[in-house]
Structures are given as structure tokens and as C-alpha cells.
Structure 1
Amino acid sequence: MTKLTTNDAGEFVRGGNRFDARITADGSSTWPAEPGRYRLVVSLACPWASRAVLVRRLLGLEDAISLAVADPIQDERSWRFTLDSEGRDPILGIEFLAEAYAAADPGYDGGVSVPAVVDVPTGQVVTNDYPRITLDFSTEWRAHHRSGAPDLYPEAWRDEIDEVNELVFRDVNNGVYRAGFASSQEAYERAYRELFERLDWLTSRLAARRYLVGDHITEADIRLFTTLVRFDPVYHGHFKCNREKLAENPVLWAYARDLYQTPGFAGTVNFDHIKRHYYQVLHQLNPSRIVPAGPDLSGWTEPHGREALGGTPFGDGTPPPDVSALP
């Protein structure tokens, strides 16, 4: 659960990631990239976790790293495995993700976040460092990628990807939270302004190019997509990011639909989990816990026309073979 922490100016302050160990190809970090050893714990409601689900699927790491999907509705102990038989994760044998955090640090009393990569033999969280998890999937797990996996973090483009990611994180990925969780009018209006200034910048950037960096999908597109796909169902109304809907921005709406319709993307999106989590868990913002009936989601499958801008989704790679929906 995102903790609603604000500073004296009423600005939302996102906490850091307590567990930041690296899982590396050569094992020099003490955590080797070993197929079958780790379990990725996610919520399909969470944009940060959805990045990891999507990258895992595009790279074909399903057989190397197993997946646990938490209930989108949390209680006081945060993420729970009530979607599984008897309310326990079948691999880790725990009822709450907090138990894996405690296994790693018995004295830990901070927030319990997803995504988290858990070491199955010890039951300990290895990392909840969501920006690094997906980059390591692309680089440190390369030996276990499927044949034809795309390069989501090409070495030649990394500086530009990192630069774009930093701007998008500050103003968009985290910007919607800065607006929604602000506790003063001034902090809200500042976050609102910076969010839409960055969306205007993204609109200009994407008007004549299909993807954010280079000529195929990269980590930058994935990080933006998981926020855009939640924009109209949640952030526009619930977080008061209401200058315009995504569906009212022709460029970004077409861009988001292009990605959604790319093999591998739509199956990782669960609008039911997204809406129920935000509207029923963040009851500080929605005391009634009523989940809105809208918006109409049928437009996500309408033609987008962005093929005319060139590029191909996976570059020299191929689509993932399994594009079915997750639980």
C-alpha cells in the first residue's frame, strides 16, 4: 500500500526501497540469476509491479522466474495471498508478503511494497527496488531470455532511455501520486501543472515518432504505459488529474492503444484489479469505497494508426508466444 506521507508543504513524499540487493548473472552480488530460485510477487493493480510483469513476459522469463499475484484489496498487513487456495502462496507458503520482508529483516517495520523478488529457498525478500528489477531482467537474466526476446534496454540507447525515464518518473509516474496525495492546494496545483506540462512534452515527442526512444519498444515505453493505462480509470478522477482524459489527447491515446494492442501487453492489464484497489484501499481519498462503473474500456481495441510512423514493436526480436491474460 502506498503510504500517504507528506512534508510540511503538503507535498507527497515517496519512501525509498529498503531491499535493494542485485541479482546478477555472475552471482557476484551473492544472488545469482538462477532459474527456479526466485519468485516475483506482484499486484496487477500496481503500476510499478506491472512493469515487472510485462518485462518478464516480453523477455520470456516465465519459466525462469515464477509469479505470485496478490489480492488487489489489502488489509492492515498489506499485500495478501487470498487469491490462492487456503489464502497462502503455493510456493512460498505464506499468507502475507510481509512475512518475506520479516524473513529478510526481523526488525523491519516499514511499508510492504510490490514488486518484490523473493528467494524461494530462504523465503526472504531479495529486492523491492522496482526501477532496478526490470533493468536487471533485461541485462543480468539475458542468458535465460527466450529466443527472439527484444532488447528493451539497448546499450547504445541507455543514456537517452535513462534521461527520459527520470523525467517521466518525476512528473508522470510519481506525478499523479504527487497530485492525488497532496495535502495542500499549493502542492496539488504544482504537481498538477508539472504533470500536464510533461504530458504536453510527451505529446510533442510522440507526435512524429512511434516510440519514446529509438525505433522499437524499450524500458521507457513500458514505464510510461503502466501509468497511461491507469489514467482514465483512476488518476483522472480519483487523483484529480483532470485537465483532460487520456482519451481526449489524440497522440497519447493512440500511442497507449498501440502498446496495449502489441502482443504481450493487454494480457498483463487487469482493469478490475486496478479499479478495486485504488477506490477500495485508498479510503482516505474515497471513504465510501464505491468503485466507479466507468469509464468505457472498449476504445482500447480501436485502430490507432501509428504504424505509419515506422518502427516495429520488437525490433529484430519477435512477439512473445503466450499473450493470454494473467489471473
Structure 2
Amino acid sequence: MTVDSDAPVFASPVDIGTYGPYGPGRVVEDARGWQRPRYPFQGRITADGSSGHRAEPGRYHVWAAWSCGWAQRVAIVRKLKGLEEVITLSYVDDERDGRGWAFRERRGPDPVRGFRLLLEAYEATEPGYAGHISTPVLWDRRTGRIVSNHFDGITADLCTAFDAWAVPGVELRPESLRREIDELNAYLYENVNDAVYRVDGASTQAAYESSRQRVCRALEELDTRLADRRYLLGDVVREPDVRLWPTLARFDLAYNPVGGICRGGLRDFPNLWAYARDLYRLPAFRDTTDFDTYRMSPPPERADSVRHIAVDPVEPDWL
């Protein structure tokens, strides 16, 4: 791979005083509460190239953030499928200011183009880009442009399009289960993955209670589902297990104490807790998890009138 210089280049240190916090001007604030930002790049990769992007070894790179659950899902699939030598991956720095994600010494330089800021990849794809700067980002070395910054499509394509180079027999989205997988993925997104953000971002007491109860009910339903099976769809890891894990990994350290969702945390759901620990024993889940990046300081005093239940962070004993 070729970078702009042999010497690594890095962004300057995080500087909130100069650049402000990340968000204003990039993420739309809505009086209705949490609204997930739009993901404007949603190209797809196919084995035959019919999408305009053919699956090829060495052609694509993923930029991820250790703290980002959406990016972690891509990293897990890449490792489960054995695609580490086929699709390269690197990480941005853990902290960001108004410039967005950046490359600094702690996580290493950008190995593809020598970018200092991830924004440079967005601007190379769409000059003057002014939207949300998110991870994961799937980059095409051949075109020098972003294929996608939409985790859903990236994850699905890594599950299926690169089978010619993948570990034989690892089927995360088998055709025979595709409809059930997509329905379960949608349920997880609406009731767990994105729902934990809607709890913390609720703008009224009624919205908070409704969102909080929705997540708790979903965790109860998942706990019941796992009473008679090892994974969500039986005895084999499938894509929905990948979708659920990052939320579970962050729940007791971040989502629950910040949002005030369920008083007892994951341990209140014994089958779900056992399932989460089981997933963590698998290298693809464990090696892509960094609990230190999920720990959050106590949330600041809220300026709004929404009263959240008090929940303390819990240091889970994953092993």
C-alpha cells in the first residue's frame, strides 16, 4: 500500500478550545430528541462486481473507532470470516474535537493515504462535505473514494461477498436464513442497538420512560429466547449475534449508567448475561473489544427536566 510519505503523519492534539466539541454543525439537533445522523455513502460490494465494486483482496480498507459499536460489528465479521489479509483495517484516535475523528500516535497513522483527519476521506469523496463524520468507513483504494459509511451494508457485504477468500463454512448470513436474519437484525436495531441512544436523548419524561421500558422489554424477550439455545438463531453464530454484542459489551459501563435504563444491568437477565460471556470467549468478539474505551465519567448534571433513574457503572466479570 502507498501513503503520501514514509514518515507517519498525525493530527494535532485534541483542542476543544479551538475547534469546539464534535457535533454542532455536523450532527442535526432535533427538539424531538435523539435522531440518528444520515449516512450518505451507501455503496455495496458484490462478488461479481455488479454493484460497481467487485470483491477483491487488497482493494478495500476499513477505518474504525474502538469506541464505536457500529464499527466493531464490521471488525467482528472481518475476523470471524478470516478476512484480515483480504480487507485491511485501522483505527482512529479515541478522542475527537470539532474536526471529527483523527489519526494520532496512540492508535497509529492512517496506513492508506496518510490522512490526518478522517474528514479528508470524506472530502476526497465529496468535496466540501459538511455532514456527519462517522465510522466505520469502507474505502476503495482503486477509486480513491469512500464506498460506504453505513455499517449495515458494510457488515452484510463482508458476510457474503468475500467468500472466495474466507474461512470455509463460516456462514453468518446463509441464504436459507436470510429473511429471519434481516427481521431479527431490524428488531435488534429498533429495540436495543439504537434504542439505548433514544433513552439518553429523550427530550420529555414520557419519551424517556417509553424508550427505557422498550429496551428493558427487549432484553427480557432476548433473555427468554436464549433459555433454550446457545446463540440467537441456534447453535451457530450468525449476523444477529454480531449486531447485538457491541451493545451488550457497553451496556453496564456506558449505556445503562448514562441513560438510566435498567437498575440491575445485564445480570438481571441471566440467560442474556451467560450468552454475552459466551460470545466474549470467542476471539473475534474478545479481540475487537476494548472495555477501557467504553468507561464513561459520571454524566453531567442534566439541564433539561427529564429525570433519569440512577444507575452506577458495573465492572463486568466477562470471563
> What does residue range 1-327 of structure 1 map to in structure 2 within 5 Å?
5=28, 7-8=30-31, 10-83=32-105, 88-146=109-167, 148-275=168-295, 279=297, 295-297=314-316, 299-301=317-319
- 1:16 Cα offset (Å): 2.3
Question: Which ranges of 4 or more aligned residues in structure 1 deviate by more than 6 Å?
Answer: 1-4, 282-286
TM-score normalised according to structure 2 size: 0.84
Q: Whole-Å Cα distance in 2 between the matches of residues 204 and 233 of structure 1?
A: 23
- 1:215 Cα offset (Å): 2.5
Give CA deviations for 1:188-208 in whole Å, capped at 9, x if unaligned.
111101111111111111111
Give CA deviations for 1:154-212 in whole Å, capped at 9, x if unaligned.
11111111111111100100010000112221221111011111111111111111111
Q: Whole-Å Cα distance in 2 between the matches of residues 157 and 149 of structure 1?
A: 15
Q: Whole-Å Cα distance in 1 between the matches of residues 201 and 34 of structure 2?
A: 6
CA contact (8 A) 1:72 1:274 kept: no
RMSD between aligned residues: 2.4
TM-score normalised according to structure 1 size: 0.82
The 3-state SS of whatever aligns with 2:132 is coil
How many residue pairs were aligned?
289
Q: Summarize the Cα distance change of 1:68–1:175 in structure 2 as closer, same or farther, 3 Å threshold.
A: same
- 1:107 Cα offset (Å): 3.0
Q: Whole-Å Cα distance in 2 between the matches of residues 51 and 88 of structure 1?
A: 22
Give CA deviations for 1:71-98 in whole Å, capped at 9, x if unaligned.
111111111111368x741322101111
The 3-state SS of whatever aligns with 2:90 is strand
Give CA deviations for 1:110-155 in whole Å, capped at 9, x if unaligned.
0011111012244421101101111101111111213x35111111
Unaligned runs of 5+ in 2: 1-21, 304-311
> 1:304 maps to which residue?
none
The one-letter amino acid of 2:75's match is: V
Q: Whole-Å Cα distance in 2 between the matches of residues 204 and 174 of structure 1?
A: 21
Identity %: 41
Q: Summarize the Cα distance change of 1:4–1:178 in structure 2 as closer, same or farther, 3 Å threshold.
A: farther
